[in-house]
Structure formats: C-alpha cells, structure tokens
Structure 1
C-alpha cells in the first residue's frame, strides 16, 4: 500500500522555481528521509505535500486519490500532518493546551487523554511542564512539544521538517526512538527532511 505518491512535482515562489520534477513514494510503515543543505527545497516540498503551498505542476496522491492542491486543513483531516521547522508552537498556551490542539480533528476524546500521557512518556519534560506556557520552554523543549503536538493528530503520514534542529545529541536519539515507535504504534508512515544525516 502506498499512502503517498508524488509525481513530477514542480514548486515555485513567484518566478523562482524551487522543486523541479520531484517524484517519490512513501509506503505504509515506511520512513523516508530527504537529505540536503539549506536552500535545497526540502521544506518547500513538504509544504506542497501538506497543502500549505500549491504546486505549479505534478500530482500528489494519498491512498490512491489525487489530492494535489487541497488546502492544509483537508490534508490534516485525511491524516497528512506536518511538523514544520522552527518550533512552531502556540507560545501563550500551556503545554497541555498545545497538545490538545494537535488533536482538534479527532472525535475520540478518551483516547486523546491517553495519547497525552503517551507523549509525556516519550518526552518526559512535557509531563513536568504541563501548566507552563510554550514561551517559557527552552528551544529544545519547544521542539519536543511541536513534535508531540503533531503526533497527537494520530497521523497516517507524518511530515517532519528538520526535527533534530536545536536538539542535543541525547535528545536526537530520543526523537529517533519516538519516530520508530510511532511508526509501529499508529501504523504511520514518516517523511522527514534533514541536514543531519545522523538522525
């Protein structure tokens, strides 16, 4: 089964072409990594897949259905969830509130509470900072919260944009373990972009 297929994708910002003729496939339970330096178009590719940027050409399919150009809210409802680069959290909300917002598309409220406990077991610091505002977390803690919030959606495919950015080597190892566990627990596929080949 191929949850995600990208064929001959072309993206641009105005006259500047960023991605040219990109094709890739991500199977169920698979982890695919795109490596490259800054400015190579990795983040732009994820933005196009997640619905944040409309591609100029090409086709995106999810579960065999064409989803090219669908807005991000529709893609998230389908199970395509992106954790963007740069610790995008809600700084004025608490850790718990950020996590609950990650599950806004879900109807299974009891399971949401279970998943909050699961995220706290993955990232122990989140359990000790439940009532803290996002703005009061360190950079590494904010990154962990951003990843955990994405996982709260129970994605079918998780798009991770440089998840190791700003993390210590020990935390990078933790993130690697979480990615492997989530793939098994949620039957999810993972597409991540990185500069750090060590992740």
Structure 2
C-alpha cells in the first residue's frame, strides 16, 4: 500500500480570513484548478480507500476532482493543517528579526528544535500528522492533501531526521510525495518526492 501526500495547488494572494480558522484561507487559482484536474489521470488506475484533507479550502479544492472521480467524500482532519506559525503570519522578515531575535537565529541555523512565536514546534506538528499517518490501514492506499510544511515534516519523520531539518526538502504546489509500506521489512520507503504532473 501507499500513502500519497499531495500539497495543495497554487493559492490566490490576498486576505481570505475565515472565522474559526487561525490563518488565511485562500482558494486556489485558475492555474491551481488545472493542476487539480491533472491529478485525476494520475490517480485513475489506483484504488484509493480514503482521502483526508486539512481544514483549509485550498486542500479541499485541490483534491475535489479526484474525490469525485473515486466516489469518495474527503475527511476533514485538523491534524494535517499547516504548521502553526503563531503571530508572524502577517509580519515582515525585518519585524520578525527585530521582535523575535532568538527565534530568527534558530530558524536560520536549523541545528535544534524551535518554536514559532505564539505557535508550535516542528516536533509538535510532526506528532499531529504522524497520529493520522500511523492510524491508516497499511493494506490499502490513501491520499492526504495537506500543506508544504507538513509534507516536509512527514518526510523528516519517516526518514529519521529531526523536524527542524525540514528545510532540506522542496515541495511544490500540487506535487505528490509517495510513502510505500514494505510489510516484509516493517518499514516505509519514499519512492517519489515532490512529483509534479
């Protein structure tokens, strides 16, 4: 079996605040819709048991065409929301550096775990996504449609890297990263990373 982790498609710029969600809830762009449609052909020959999406509109729109083609209703799960970056979402780099110098240094050094100001650590985000990832039936295929940071953190976790090393991976819009379980060896492999259709 495999777990296919899809990053949401290209999102619109601008303010799209949604009551009940902490951060901007942008819809995907026209180009993002085209990327989302291309996912249908890729998943067409693959039996999918479940589709999971974050609480954000962009993940739900990205996988909607695939879900429709499979006759599946995506399951909304906050455990795969993007990493909580706390108070810095609308701050400039200069403001962050001036107001949170310790965080700024840790963010750029990337040699130890650090907390987003007012948010969470990479390790905390890792525990969230792994709780869903590890609960899935390993005899079936699943899709998680989530965000860049969570995909990179999951890669670190599966490959035995600390979450603060997530900057080592690039994850593009609407890309697919595949985690395949090998029952004979009781482990996961990562045959594809950041595959863009």
Normalised to the residue count of structure 2, the TM-score between the two structures is: 0.32
Higher strand share: 1
The structure whose RCO (Cα within 8 Å, separation 6+) is larger is 2
